[in-house]
Amino acid sequence: MQLFVKKRPPKDNVLISEINKTKIAMESAYSNFENVVDPDLIDSCIYELNAIQNRYRFLLKQAKAAENNFC
C-alpha cells in the first residue's frame, strides 16, 4: 500500500492526453487504409499513417524523457 502518491504535473497530463488522441487517430487511419481502393486514396492514407506514426513516436519520446525527469 502506498502512503504517498506522486502527482504528475499538468504538463504530463496533457502529454498523456495527446498520446491517447494520437492512438485513436492512428486506429482511424489504419481503418481508412484498409477500406480504400482508389490508388490516390491509398497514397493519401499512407502519408497520413506515416505522419501520425511520427507524431506518436515523438510523443512517446517526450513522455519517456518526462518520466526520467520526474523520478
DSSP secondary structure string for all residues of 8-66: PPHHHHHHHHHHHHHHHHHHHHHHHHHH--SHHHHHHHHHHHHHHHHHHHHHHHHHHHH
Residue 29 has a pLDDT of 96
Say whether pLDDT at 38 is over 80: yes
What is the residue extent of each domain of the chain? 29-71
- Alpha-carbon gap, residue 2 to 15, rounded angstroms: 25
pTM to 2 decimals?
0.78
Whether residue 1 is predicted with pLDDT greater than 80 in this model: the reply is no
Read off the pLDDT band of 67 (50, 70, 90). Answer: confident
Identify the top-confidence range among 6-10, 33-37, 67-71. 33-37
**pLDDT (average), residues 40-62:** 96
Nearest Cα to Cα of residue 56 among 27, 22, 29: 22
